Amino acid sequence: MAYSASNYIEGQIIKYLRDLTEGKCGSNEVDWPILHHEIRLCQELRIMGELHRQMQPFYEMYLNADPRLLSNKDFSLFPFVETLSEQDADFAHWAESYDLKDITEDWADYLRRKDGDIFPYQRLIRTLLEGGYDTDWQKLSEQLKEDLHQAEVYSERKTAELMCFLHGVAMLMNMPWDDKKKMEMYDMLEDKWDFMKHFYSIMIRRVIGCRLNGYASVANLVAQQPKYHQYIHIFYCVLCYRQDSLGLTRKQMKTLEKRMEAISNIMDVTKPSDELNELCDTLFPEDFQRMLDEFRPETREQVERERNRLRMEVGLLKDKITEMAVKLKNALEHSVPITDIKHELLQLSPGAALDILGKLTMMLSDNEAWMKSVPEIKEAIMEKQKEKEMEMAELLRVMKESPKVDVTVQKGGTAQITEKEIVNRLPNPLEQFGNEHQN
């Protein structure tokens, strides 16, 4: 009888796998070392292509998390098929005929029944990506985004977790990066998933990846894990961003606020890492940067830099006030009318004018005419200050009575112009004073 690679593989390998999946024998009845030896012989004989072809029914079970493949007592069949699929250069392209959402749902059903970790599913996804699996990633990411915004679609936690992970994969694969950069970002998503799943829980307003009930419990878990602390500012920002839309009762909100205070204390003593920023920005391009800009607390280094900057500005301002006071003193001593001096002071902000008036009065304490004019000048400056305060009060009143204005931010996002932002846009008195004297 002529040698046949197909018959050899059928008789030495496939027959035993088929008997296992059909329940004709148990996993403990198979001589696994012999089977692995047969695989090495196939490699030496260069008939792995035929082996992979005959393995396709088992690869299909692997893709679909078929219990016949995964439910053996010692799981010897599953890693055997898993390892062979990773050696098949055509596995990913063959698998393109299967929908990733369907694959993910099947794996979620299996992992939920086994109460298992998602690592086997992640390993499958890695094998597909490294093999060049291709699909319409943009369409898939849009479908998943819509589904995840309606958390009830995936109300079961394990399904929701796997769908979140798949959403992350689709968003990464849809980026205009080369394959190396895409896989580097996938490595980060997979490696940091233990933290990222909690980030997703808040973003989609559905707790995933753990058995905890409530967002305060998730926040407490994050706070209790030192390995998360370098990224905890990201979690803090997403809590701030989403807390009003989490549907919490007043009691739940108070509990969450206590957890957020604890997280804030951790941030005070932890150097933050921006390692996950690009990843998070890619997964949530409409929200992440806006969330950081609005809610990220300043680091200790930033606070110290700002403190030093203000010290320097105060020093410069004192120098400018002294310089201005000397100039006005000299002008007065050169017969410039006091009314002109008063006019110059009223051109400044009330605070700066009062500071200069005080220094000028100390310099001219022996000038009888000036000393008689000081009360009148001070009263005029105070009157100007009252006018400024009334203008500000009127501005705030108008803002409170006016509806907020929506401004489109990229696709599908909106930003609101708030009272705080408008107030922050008002001119800085220190800058105004400096500009006036530069002019």
Amino acid at 122: Q
71 pLDDT above the threshold of 90: no
pLDDT of 413 strictly over 70: no
pLDDT tens for 164-179 read 999 999 999 999 999 9
pLDDT in tens, 121-141: 999 999 999 999 999 999 999
Confidence tier at 319 by pLDDT (50, 70, 90): low
Whether residue 422 is predicted with pLDDT greater than 80 in this model: the reply is no
Give me the chain's average pLDDT, please. Answer: 84
Residue 332 has pLDDT above 80, yes or no: no
Is a pLDDT exceeding 50 seen at residue 1?
Answer: no
Q: Which long-range contacts (CB under 8 A, 24 or more apart) does 167-176 make?
A: 167/141, 167/283, 168/196, 168/200, 168/283, 169/125, 169/129, 170/137, 170/140, 170/141, 170/144, 171/141, 171/282, 171/283, 172/282, 172/283, 173/129, 173/137, 174/137, 174/138, 174/141, 175/282
Q: How far apart are CA 102 and CA 108, in angstroms?
A: 10
Residue range 28-70, pLDDT digits in tens: 888 989 999 999 999 999 999 999 999 999 999 999 999 888 7
Domain ranges of the chain: 1-88, 300-438
Burial class (CB in 10 A: 0-12, 13-18, 19+), 116: middle
Q: Which residue has the higher pLDDT, 263 or 399?
A: 263
pTM for the structure as a whole: 0.70
Q: What distance in Å separates the CA atoms of residue 345 and residue 342, rounded to the nearest whole number?
A: 5
b/e for 34-50, b at 16 or more Cβ within 10 A?
ebeebbeebeeeeebeb
